[in-house]
Structure 1
C-alpha cells in the first residue's frame, strides 16, 4: 500500500526532504511506508503525550507520507502563526492533507495571494452583513430548537443539520431543500478524507469519496455563479461573485467555487464541533448553565425576541464558557506549516522544506499554563487571568495572517444558540454521554452526544 503524496504539488513548492535531514532532532520514524500514521490515528492524544514525555517539546515524527517536526508550546505557536519573517508556508503545510479536497481554500494560500483573496472575502464579515446574519441566525435557531423539547436527541447530528441550514441561509441566501442531506454528506466525506492514510483516490477508499464529494460541491457552486454575477442579491455568495480584486478583476469561477466549498465546510463543521463541546460541558456543569441563564435573563428579552447584534458583547460569561470549551476541545487540534527557510527552535537547526506541526490541543492542556487543565473553568478567561498568560497559549482560531476569518461569525452563532437554548431548556445528558470523542480531523462525540432538553418550569 503506497502512502506517498500523490497530489500534484504546485511548481513553487520545495522538494520533499529525506527523513535523515531531521535526524538531529530526537523522535521516531515508525514503520516502513506508513511511519506512525496508524498509531496517531488510533490514539492521537496518547501518542502525542508519549512522544513529548520521551523526547521533549521538539521531536521528529513520520506520518501521512513524510517526515515532520513537531513543536509544542506557546512559543512554538507564536513562531509559526505570527511568522514575523515569512519562514512558514500554510499552503505547503496543509497541501498534503487538503490539496485534493480544498485546493485554493484560504488555508492553502500564502502571503500576497492569501492577503488579496482574504480581503475580497472579508466583505462578508463587516458589521452590516453581520447584523443581517444575526437576524437570520435568531430566526433559524429559534425555529429549530423550539422543536427539541422533551425528546431524545443526538445533539451533534441535530446541530450539524442546523448549522448547515444556517450557513446556507447566511452565505448562500437559499434554502438547500432536499439537496441538504447530499450536501451534508459531501462535506463529511471531504473532511474524513483529509486524514485517511491512503492518499490516492483508489476506488472504495475514503480519499475517492472525498474527491467525488468535492467534485459534486464544486459543480453545485459553479452552476449558481452566472446568475449570481448577473443578479443583485445581497447574500455573501452573490456579492462574492460580483466582487473584484485590487486591479478591478473578478475572481475566476473555479476560485469562487473552491472558496465557497471551504467556507461552507468551515462555517458548519467546526461550529458543530464547538457547539457540541460547549453543550456537553454545560450539561456536566449545571451550575454554569444557571450562571449563563441568569446573564441571558438580564438582557430583558421577551419570548419573541432574539439576541440583537448590538447585544453580543453583554454576554461576557457566555463568552468565557465558549472559550473554555474551545480550550478543552479545539475544533482544529493541530496546525501544519512548511519551512521555506532554515530556522532554529528549541536548540535544534531545522532545514528548509521541513514539515512543521504545532499541537494546539496539547498546548491547551499544559498544567504550567492551565492549572487543573481537565477542569471546566470559564473564569480562566476573565480579563485579569488573560493578562498574565502568553498571547499564544490559546489558539483555537489560529493566529497571525491566517487567523480564522469567520471567528466573529462563529462566536455570534454560539451566543445566539445559547440564548435560544438556555432561556427555554435545562440540558440533561444521558448517562455516559460524550465520553468518547473522535479527535481527528474535526472532533466529534462517537455517540453523537445523546441528551434531552427539559423545558424550564
Structure 2
C-alpha cells in the first residue's frame, strides 16, 4: 500500500470541499523522472497535440516507459504499457483520481460524467444508471436501432464521406434510443454543440474566452443543459422506454431520485460518448473492411446467415451469433482506440518502473501505445480480427487491450456499443460493397477522438 512520504506531507494540501484532492507544490519534485519540459510557456503541448503518436513513440524510445512532460501548463508523468494500464485502471489501492485527472480537461464541459467521478459517488451513480442497460431496455433499443439504421442506410449509395454519414446517423439513433424522439431540425444545432464541446477539451486556451475553442464549448454546454433540462421534466411526468426516461426515474440506494442537474450531466456525457466514440470506431472498422475485402465478405456472410437475408433486422437474441463481427470490431478498437490516452492524478506516493512518483502528480496512460506494442500484437499495423479468438486472448496480458477502460470505470455502455456496431455492419454490408481507392489511406486527426481528416471517402456499391 502506498503512503505519503514524510518529506512531502508539508507540501500536500487538502481541499475542504473534496477530501481526496491534493496539490503538489513545486515542479522540482519530478526532476528525477526522465523526460522533457519543452518550450517556454507552451511546454510540450503543441508537440503532443500536433503529432501525439509520433511524440509518444519518440519519448518512449528516448526515455523508456516512464517519462515526464509539461503540457497545458502542468508537469506530468506518462506510464506506458500493459502493466501501467493495469496499475492505473484496476487501481487496487485507490491511488488514482479520475476526477482530478479528467477535471482540468473536461470539468467546464462535461462535469459529473461517470468518467469524472471517484470512489463512492461514482459507485452510487453508476449503480443508479445501470438500470438503463439491463436486458429489457436493451431489447427495446435494439428494435429502435434496427429501424433507424435500416431506413437511413437504405438511402445511401455511391461515393460518400463515411465518417460524416455515420456521425449524422449515430446522432439520430442516439436521439431515438436515448431520448425517445426524432431530433428533426434541431439535429444540426445539437451536433454543433457536441462538436464544439469535444474540440474545446483540447483547446490550448483553458478559459472560456470569446472566440476560443473553450468559449464555444462552454456555450455549447449551456445549450445542452437547457435542452436536456426541459426534456427531463417532461420525462419524469410522462416516461417512455428510452434511456433518458430510465435515467429520469433512476434512484439512489435510499430511494430518492437522482437530482435533475446530475441526470442532465450524465445524459450529456453519455450522448457525447455514444455519438462520437461509436462514430470514430465504426469509421475505423469500415476503413479496414474496405481495405480487407476478404474480411468484409466474411462479415457479410455472417450477417446474412444470422438474419436470413439482405437488409433484414438483427434480433436482439441473435446478436451473440455475430461472432466474427465482434472480433473485427475489437480489432478496429485495437487498431485505433477512440480514447487514445487517459489521465489520472496520484492521490498518494507510489512506485512504478523503478521510480518514486509523488502524490499530486498528473498521470497519463496510453491505450493507443499498448494496442500497438509488438510484444503483445505481432505485426501491429496489420488488421487481423483473429487476434481476439479465445485461444489468442488467453495468452495475452489482460490490460494490453483497454479501449473501454477497466476496473470500476469500465465503460457502462460497452454492450450498447457492440450492439450498435453489429447492427451497422449487418445493415450496411448486406446492402452494399464498401470500397475505397487503392493506396488512398486517410490522414487521421488523433485528438481528442480520432477521425479521418477527409471524412473517409468510400464508395458504396449496392448489392441488393
TM-score, normalised relative to structure 2 = 0.94
Alignment of 1:82-121 (within 5 A): 82-121=90-129
After TM superposition, give the deviation of residue 303 of structure 1 in Å: 4.4
Secondary structure at 2:76's aligned position in 1? Answer: strand
Q: 1:443 aligns with which of 424, 428, 450?
A: 450
1:247-282 deviation digits (Å, cap 9, x = unpaired): 111111111111111010001100000000000000
Alignment of 1:163-178 (within 5 A): 163-178=170-185
Q: Are 2:406 and 1:417 aligned?
A: no
Q: Counterpart of 1:47?
A: 55
Distance across 2 between alignment mates of 1:302 and 1:396: 32
1:399-438 deviation digits (Å, cap 9, x = unpaired): 0000011000001000011010111111011355442000
Q: Counterpart of 2:273?
A: 266
Q: 1:37 aligns with which of 45, 58, 66?
A: 45
Secondary structure at 1:447's aligned position in 2? Answer: coil
What are the ranges of 5 or more consecutive residues in structure 2 without an aligned counterpart? 1-14
Deviates more, 1:78-87 or 1:224-233: 224-233
Q: Counterpart of 2:148?
A: 140
1:365-424 deviation digits (Å, cap 9, x = unpaired): 011110001000111011110000000000000000000110000010000110101111
Q: Counterpart of 1:306?
A: 313
Secondary structure at 2:67's aligned position in 1? Answer: strand
Alignment of 1:152-167 (within 5 A): 152-167=159-174
Deviates more, 1:8-17 or 1:385-394: 8-17
Q: Counterpart of 2:340?
A: 333
Distance across 2 between alignment mates of 1:194 and 1:87: 25
Distance across 2 between alignment mates of 1:239 and 1:292: 33
Cα gap change, 1:113 to 1:391, in 2 (>3 Å) = same
C-alpha RMSD over aligned residues: 1.4
What are the ranges of 5 or more consecutive residues in structure 1 without an aligned counterpart? 1-7
Deviates more, 1:304-313 or 1:57-66: 304-313
Q: Counterpart of 1:242?
A: 249
Distance across 2 between alignment mates of 1:168 and 1:131: 16
Distance across 1 between alignment mates of 2:176 and 2:259: 23
Question: Are the aligned partners of 1:433 and 1:449 in contact in 2 as well (CA < 8 Å)?
Answer: no
Q: Counterpart of 2:9?
A: none
Question: Are the aligned partners of 1:434 and 1:446 in contact in 2 as well (CA < 8 Å)?
Answer: no
Q: Counterpart of 1:75?
A: 83
Q: Counterpart of 1:220?
A: 227
Distance across 1 between alignment mates of 2:106 and 2:17: 13
1:154-174 deviation digits (Å, cap 9, x = unpaired): 010000000001011111101
Secondary structure at 1:26's aligned position in 2? Answer: coil
Cα gap change, 1:17 to 1:290, in 2 (>3 Å) = farther
Distance across 2 between alignment mates of 1:24 and 1:304: 60
Q: Counterpart of 1:200?
A: 207
Question: Are the aligned partners of 2:229 and 2:260 in contact in 1 as well (CA < 8 Å)?
Answer: yes
Cα gap change, 1:44 to 1:10, in 2 (>3 Å) = farther
Q: 2:237 aligns with which of 230, 254, 273?
A: 230
Alignment of 1:342-421 (within 5 A): 342-421=349-428
